[in-house]
Every structure is written in structure tokens, then in C-alpha cells.
Amino acid sequence: PDVYYIILDRYAGSTGLAEAYDFDNEPFLTALEERGFAVPRNAHANYVKTPFSLASSLNIELLDADALRAEADSDQDREPIHRVLGGHLAVPVALKQLGYRYFHVANWWTPTGTNVDADRTFRYEGQDEFSTVLAQTTLLRAITEPEAAPTDPWDWRVLRKHSQYALDRLDEIPVLPGPKFVFAHLLIPHDPYVFDRDGSFMDREQVAAQGQPESYRRQLTYLNDRLLQLVDRIIAGSGDDAVIMLQADEGPFPARYRANEWAFQWQDATDAELEEKFGILFAMRVPGADLEAAGLHDAITPVNTFRIIFNARFGTDLPLLPDRIWAHENLRHFYDFFEITDRLRHD
């Protein structure tokens, strides 16, 4: 069967949505269940940031923080974990060995812009993170007249085009010949909030006026509708046996973090802040499989996503890893992890 792994960046879990955003996501989750998904309501991310989370889930292993720190030039150096994301990852490597083609659907975040094993990469060729940072440097600003420069270093309309492009390509990929593994990293509902409920553009003024929670709710409402359309297209194009994984890498950042991210200490986070950040959407569709027997449970974490899928669909016998959860101290100590599993287990 075709295998789709679709990452929805900062898509919060049910509890976080209800408590931090006053948003009832049950209609969407129920609609997924009607389409054959198992949707545990108490799933959490293993890690606090995207590169950690994706490196872990795509390698089906927990991370070695000491090894990453040893490779880093400083406590803030992200290159070691970014290199992991661009290199050989266990999930696509295993599927390619089974004869799958690997389609990589990227967004504007450079570390998941492509992968060394991708047979084909789909990425909007507009502004990306690297060119944006470059445009903000003094040298380029000195030789670029303000009138000719982008109206904003982060051009929201361009970032919106990245997400539109990725969603449009995901609509088209199902009819391509398989078997295929499709990895997509969608930077929605991640900010900037550029989709209103009906998909129309939200500009900075509108978002500033209505505030972050309302803007997040609106973008999420649009995304939910778009995802149901996409799932139906995948099933129609790839066949009813398509394996589909919709999953967040992390939840949204709490208000105190957004107010001053460099000063925020995760050791001081409240239980509610941890739930908002680590609770995630986790929806798994493996038709005909007994996912509970394969290890799926209500408090699952992404490190076990493909251990379960491989066991349930491909006949492997991979042991499940402990569903452990880590934060890091702060952005200045990127690899200084400490465990918070017990803070997020309410059973």
C-alpha cells in the first residue's frame, strides 16, 4: 500500500485545544474515525522542537542528546540535528528497500527542504528560510533599495503560497504510480496565520486585531476541512488500503513562551503549558490491521508511529519503545534535555 506521513506543525492535542484555545476538535476527529483512522486522544510529542521530533519519529529511535551535544559547536548550534533530518532516515530507507519511491513534500523551513534519499522533492520555489535570513543581513540590505525589497522580511503571502503548493501537490500525488512513500511537512497550523476559516488570506492587521488564539482557531478550522478533502483524495487515488498518518511534531507554544522565548525556562512551565506544547494530533489509518494488538494505545508518542505501522502492515516484530517525553532547559541550552513524562501522564 501507499504510505503517507503528513506532519502538521504545531497541531495541538484535544486537551490543549480545549483548555488553551476553547476549541472543540471532536467533530474533526470523529470524521477521521469515520474514514478508518484510529485517533488516540492523549498522544504527546517526545520532544519540544520540530527537528528533535522528526529525527526521532523518522528514525524510530529516541535521541542521544549527549552525542548531539558533542557534535555541536555551541549550546545553541542546531546543525547536528538538522544534518540528521537531511540524511539517511530509517523509515524511508526501509520502504525504499521494499521497492517504494520516496516523494518529499517540503515547506519553507530549510531543514526539511529535501532529503538525500528522496526520489522527488516538491517545494515551492519562492522565498525560503535561508533567503529570508540572507535578505535581512546588512550586506544585502545595503545593495537592495528599500522600494525594491520585499515589503517584509517574512512575506506572509509567500509563506502562504508554500503551504498552498504543498497541499496542491498532495492532492495530485495519489494518482502517481506506486508503491510510494509520501512524507510531507506542512507548516500549518503553525504561524504565521494566513488562512481564514474559508481559506482566504489573513493579513498582519487582521491577526493582530483578533489575537493569536482566534487566529490559530481560524487557521485550524480551514486546515481541518482541507485535510478531510485530502484524505478522501488519497483514498480515491491510492486505494482504500492506503496507510495514512496525520501527526503533529509539537503543539503550539504557550503565551508566556511567545512573549519572550529566549527567557522562557521549561523547568518552570505549568502543567497546562506542558499540555499545550506537547499534546498533539495523532491519527493513524492502517486498513485491516489490529492496531491495538500492534501496540497503539491512548498515550502513544511518535517514536513508535512506524514501529506500529511496520508491525501492523509489513509483518515486522519491532519492540515498542517507552513513550517518554523530554523538554529542554531553554533555547540557549538546546540539547540539555530533562524528562517530563510523569507531568503529562494522567492515567
pLDDT in 10s for each residue of the chain, 347 residues: 999 999 999 999 999 999 999 999 999 999 999 999 999 999 999 999 999 999 999 999 999 888 888 998 888 889 889 999 999 999 999 999 999 999 999 999 999 999 999 999 999 986 554 455 445 544 444 444 333 334 455 689 999 999 999 999 999 999 999 899 999 999 999 999 999 999 999 999 999 999 999 999 999 999 999 999 999 999 999 999 999 999 999 999 999 999 999 999 999 999 999 999 999 999 999 999 999 999 999 999 999 999 999 999 999 999 999 999 999 998 888 889 999 999 998 65
Give CA–CA dist 326/232, Å, rounded: 35
Distance CA 218, CA 224 (A): 10
Residues 6+ away with beta carbon under 8 Å from 250: 9, 10, 45, 47, 48, 49, 50, 53, 277, 278, 280
Per-residue model confidence (pLDDT) at position 128 = 53
Question: What pLDDT is stored for residue 347 in this prediction?
Answer: 55
Using the structure block, give the residue that is written with the C-alpha cell 534519499.
Answer: 117
Q: How far apart are CA 323 and CA 217, in angstroms?
A: 29
Q: From CA 101, how far away is CA 336, in angstroms rounded?
A: 37
Cell numbers 488570506 correspond to 201
The Cα 237–Cα 244 span in angstroms is 13
Residue 6's pLDDT is what?
99
The pLDDT value given to residue 126: 67
Cα–Cα distance, 346 to 14 (Å, whole number): 14
Contacts of 171 (CB under 8 A, 6+ apart): 229, 230, 233
| Amino acid 74: pLDDT | 86
Rounded CA-CA distance 241/286 in Å is 7
pLDDT given at position 341: 97
Q: How far apart are CA 247 and CA 145, in angstroms?
A: 42
Cell 548550534 -> residue = 77
**Half-sphere exposure of 2 toward its Cβ, with a 13 Å CA cutoff?**
25
Q: What is the pLDDT of residue 15?
A: 97
